[in-house]
Chain A
């Protein structure tokens, strides 16, 4: 069974950088894309981006200028960096596996999520 676990600081100061890591266990790590998604309290889901094990990435255009994803295949981990955060970046952040077939992709395994609050 594939399991994902987010880790990282739960509190980040405004204008600083949010950094999270997702550790994957079970299943194959090297043959999938991996994604980050976030959800502000009481609101819907927002896709942040995806990374392949080769390091190739796609980001949500609305966040692209502030987002960097990276991957460490030796540790079955991938990471998110979001710069210049504001209160609007306060959300539960999820990591997930992206299952792609043909011209479509879905998120078939999710981490439990981690709350990141941006506040001084």
Chain B
């Protein structure tokens, strides 16, 4: 089945830019979606179809894809952005919906 690889953790100082990567074979040919999950809460969709933001998600959140890597970028990081972030794709063969292993974002 399709595998998505994320770094286990990323740390960033407040006000700086955080970049969370998601690697997968030919991921550029797929649409990538990103979720934010705070402790004890359900995941929230923050980026869908590579770079679109759902209503209510700040413009500080953006997504991009290049080659075999998708990236979630959070500009001007705030303490409230501290959470686990998961990437996800839909793979029409095998296990259709695949999540990355998740990245814990720590705001220093």
Tell me which of B40-48, B65-73, B74-82 binds A: B40-48
Q: Are B95 and A111 in contact (CB under 8 A)?
A: no
The secondary-structure label for the interface of chain A is strand
The secondary-structure label for the interface of chain B is loop
With A44-B86, A104-B90: A110-B42 Cβ-Cβ less than 8 Å: yes
Which residues of chain B are within 8 angstroms of A61 by Cβ–Cβ distance?
1, 94-95
Which residues of chain B are within 8 angstroms of A107 by Cβ–Cβ distance?
33, 35, 43, 45, 88, 97
Q: Are B45 and A108 in contact (CB under 8 A)?
A: yes
Which residues of chain B are within 8 angstroms of A106 by Cβ–Cβ distance?
31, 33, 45, 48-49, 88, 90
Selected from B41, B48, B54, B95, the residue in CB contact (under 8 A) with A60 is B95
List residues of A whose CB falls within 8 A of some B CB. 35, 44-47, 50, 58, 60-62, 94, 98-108, 110-113
